Amino acid sequence: MILGNRWHSFNRDLVRLKTGLVQFFETAWTVWLRWAVIIGLLLAAPAAGILIAEINPLYVFIVISLPIGLIAVQLGLPRFDLAPIIILIAAAFIPISLPTGRESRIVDSLLLTIIYLANWFLRMIIVEKRLHFVPTPVNKPILYFVIITLLSVVWSMAFRDPLVTAWPSFPVVQIASAIVMIVSPGILLLIANHVHNLKIFKAMVIIMLIAGTIGVIRRLGSIDLNLVNDGGLFTMWVVGLAASLALFNEKLRWYWRVLLLVLTGAWVYFRFGIQITWLAGWLSAFTALGVIIFMRSKKMLLLVLAAIVVLISFNADYYLDKVLADESDESGHTRMMAWEINWRVTGSHLLFGTGPAGYAAYYMSYFPADGMATHSNYIDIVAQTGISPHNFPLDFLSVLAWLGYEIMFTDFKAGVILLKLWPMPLLPVP
């Protein structure tokens, strides 16, 4: 009896000791973390002043921002609802990438996307012990695409042309490419399941407008400071968001509308006036702007089209002769040639394609001197996953187009909600 009482007393003391140690270390960790950040910043400030004159300023920026970045990731990783904001900020403003041992690099936004999706998937498997998704029209095309992509990896390895020589690390390249293909639409599922507050999407719009403002000031002001990643479809999104807010949001004050229209015009001027030879830079933005103006007023669209016709007619020698000829020589012929070369491979692998990045091995084996990038996501997807009854780009875009049509005549708030189903600023676009 006495021995039993002593044993229970010992257990209670052990529990108290354990609880006390846990509380001590938790408190100590918090205190030490605060002091480490404070001391680190105090030391980093003078060190940055010395190093910035000696080495690449980008490396100094990375070293200084690393403690802040680690704290931000630690606080933000469990918050799936903050994922789109954190990833968008990384993609737009933080030019950090990790080497892969080859020419390609892993950008920070892609790495964050993979971390968030892996964390979400593992939580469903280990903690919740079930896979579940909020019902949305995009679930089926995305999940179907994931399955087809995984099948194409196995298929391409098992049935690769025996005349094709693949280097030893090529399977790793294919698996990495498959992960990139899966996480791009996969982040949409995460957003649809965890982001239910309209403020998140409003914050994303504000971030894009801030990035667009900084980017156009840098471009037109010829400032040699790369603060914003404004490649890919960046212009389309800035122009689309700014024009939509200016034309449809009646709650905005007049001066905000004017500033948004100025931002729209500045990007149109830069892409179409100064950088017109880059067709992909302004064509997507013009298409989005045309759809927005059409939704606002058909008469306004006719006036805009008439103004464009007049502009081109008075400068026909420049636009039709020089610009069109330069674009055809620079991109037009090479793009069509790249698609034709790609079809030489894709045409013989319509079932599950050549696998992620698979056509690279065929290029190197069959025509190493002629292989070129297609610069088309749609052609690349078909080449890598084949042609199936449910083609991912067509299914996906059809669903989004139908959703957009359904809410086209509703209020502005419903239009912003469509961002929940189309987080294109997060998608890696070449």
Residue 102 in 3-state DSSP?
coil
263: confidence class by pLDDT, cuts 50, 70, 90: very high
pLDDT tens string 226-252: 778 887 788 888 998 999 888 888 888
Domain assignments of the chain as residue spans, ordered by start: 12-72, 170-426
Buried b (16+ CB within 10 A) or exposed e, 265-293: ebbbebbbeeebeebbbbebbbebbebbb
Cα gap 187→109, rounded to integer Å = 11
One-letter amino acid of 372: M
Handedness of CA 77, 79, 80, 81 (dihedral sign): negative
**What pLDDT score was predicted for residue 39?**
66
What is d(CA 224, CA 410) in angstroms, rounded to the nearest whole number? 43
From CA 262, how far away is CA 206, in angstroms rounded? 16
pLDDT at position 152 over 50: yes
More confident residue, 195 or 45: 195
Neighbours of 198 (CB within 10 A): 13
Identify the top-confidence range among 84-88, 115-119, 206-210.
206-210
Q: What is the pLDDT of residue 28?
A: 55
Of residues 158 and 30, the one with the higher pLDDT is 158
Question: pLDDT higher for 200 or 67?
Answer: 200
Instruction: Name the phi and psi angles at 362, rounded to 5.
Output: -65, -40
**Looking at residue 49, what is its pLDDT?**
60
CA nearest neighbour of 359 among 380, 339, 334, 340: 380
Q: Does residue 425 register a pLDDT over 50? A: no
Lowest mean pLDDT segment, chosen from 306-310, 333-337, 426-430 = 426-430
Q: Please answer whether residues 382 and 149 qualify as being in contact, where contact means their C-beta atoms are separated by less than 8 angstroms.
A: no
CA 81 to chain centre: 16
- What local confidence, expressed as pLDDT, does residue 259 receive? 92
pLDDT, greater one: 166 or 220: 220
Q: For 335-360, what is the mean pLDDT?
A: 78
Q: How far apart are CA 256 and CA 242, in angstroms?
A: 10
> pLDDT value at position 132?
80
Average the pLDDT over 24-53 and give the result.
58
How far apart CA 374 and CA 207 sit, in angstroms, is 31
DSSP structure class, residue 351:
B
Q: Which sign, positive or negative, has the C-alpha torsion 310, 313, 319, 325? A: positive
Is 70 exceeded by the pLDDT of residue 275? yes
The values of phi and psi at residue 105, to 5°, are -135, 155
Residue 423 is predicted with a pLDDT of 42
| Most confident residue range from 70-84, 152-166, 249-263 | 249-263
Q: Confidence class of residue 137 from pLDDT cuts 50, 70 and 90? A: confident
Contacts of 387 (CB under 8 A, 6+ apart): 350, 351
Q: What is the pLDDT of residue 420?
A: 40
Residue 165's φ and ψ, nearest 5 degrees, are -100, 120
Mean pLDDT of 276-304: 82
- Are the C-beta atoms of residues 194 and 128 closer than 8 Å to each other? no
CA distance 397 to 182: 16
In this structure, what are the phi and psi dihedrals at residue 297, rounded to the nearest 5 degrees?
A: -165, 125
- Secondary structure (DSSP) of 267-297: HHIIIIIISTT-HHHHHHHHHHHHHHHHHH-
Q: What percentage of the chain carries pLDDT values higher than 70?
A: 66
Question: pLDDT at position 209, please?
Answer: 92
Kindly report the average pLDDT of the chain as a whole number.
74
